Structure 1
Amino acid sequence: MKSPFEGNATAWSFVSKDKKETLIFYFEVLAKASKSISVIKFAGLDETAVYLDSDGNQFGGDELMNIGRFIPAVSVYTVQTDFTSHVWHLKQK
């Protein structure tokens, strides 16, 4: 996904053997004053399957692997801090 030795952010992905469930962990070390929009692409999913996130949103496996998901930015109304993280947990529908 993203190497911890090549930048300010890193990510790890875990996919079950049957490709029915995935976990992605994303970590950013230092906050940026003006963060650009970033995308993370999933890997190893079933292209023909539909996956649900924890909010019930549906995504195609091909969509997740080719287009990806936006990495949530900290709201402009909150204090941006160092050492932020985000977790995606998706299950096949």
Structure 2
Amino acid sequence: MNKQELIDAVASATGASKASTGETIDAVLKVVSKAVAAGDTVQLIGFGSFSQGTRAARTGRNPATGQEIQIAAAKTVKFTAGKVFKDAVNR
């Protein structure tokens, strides 16, 4: 399901217009993105949690030349599914 299909499905389920549903979904995604970028955890009970993780700097290898390269440390985004979501998937 892509974003437009999600908007269509939510608009159909709620009876709201596709335009307002699209704006709402965009706003939710923006707020979640800002919160996680700031280091906060966003918990949606029954669905899951979005949080920030870290990946340490490491040495990698260029597959074309075999030369070792340094890969910088990076922040990552983690999603942990909630129990209700896991149970729904495993039914």
Instruction: Name the TM-score class by shorter chain.
Output: under 0.3
Q: Which has the higher contact order (CA 8 A, sep 6+)?
A: 1
Larger radius of gyration: 2
Q: Between Structure 1 and Structure 2, which shows a larger proportion of strand residues?
A: 1
